[in-house]
């Protein structure tokens, strides 16, 4: 499972879907507000990074070319 979570797009998916499911469960009354906050906190704490939703993208990363070396 941890190998699956090392891919950035998979982490972004888990965060987006996981947080939406928690909000839905609170909204329909399956979870209380306190339980929703607790489970969301656990989701964020147990996954590799806490800011994956904000800092992930499914676009490939293009690194700029390095500047030429001067002698």
Domain boundaries, the chain: 21-54
Taking all residues of the chain, what is their mean pLDDT, rounded to a whole number? 76
What pLDDT, in 10s, does the model give residues 58-67? 666 676 776 6
Q: For tokens 């909000």, name the residue.
A: 23
Residue pair 15/47 in contact (Cβ under 8 Å)? The answer is yes
CA distance 43 to 39: 6
Q: pTM here? A: 0.55
CA distance 71 to 45: 48
CA distance 68 to 53: 35
> Does the structure show a pLDDT above 70 at 19?
yes
CA distance 11 to 28: 26
Tell me the mean pLDDT in the region 34-44.
87
């Amino acid at each position: 499972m941890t190998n699956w979570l090392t891919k950035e797009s998979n982490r972004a998916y888990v965060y987006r879907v996981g947080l939406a499911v928690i909000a839905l469960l609170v909204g329909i009354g399956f979870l209380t507000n306190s339980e929703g906050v607790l489970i969301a906190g656990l989701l964020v704490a147990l996954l590799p990074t806490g800011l994956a939703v904000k800092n992930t993208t499914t676009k490939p990363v293009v690194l700029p070319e390095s500047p030429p070396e001067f002698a």
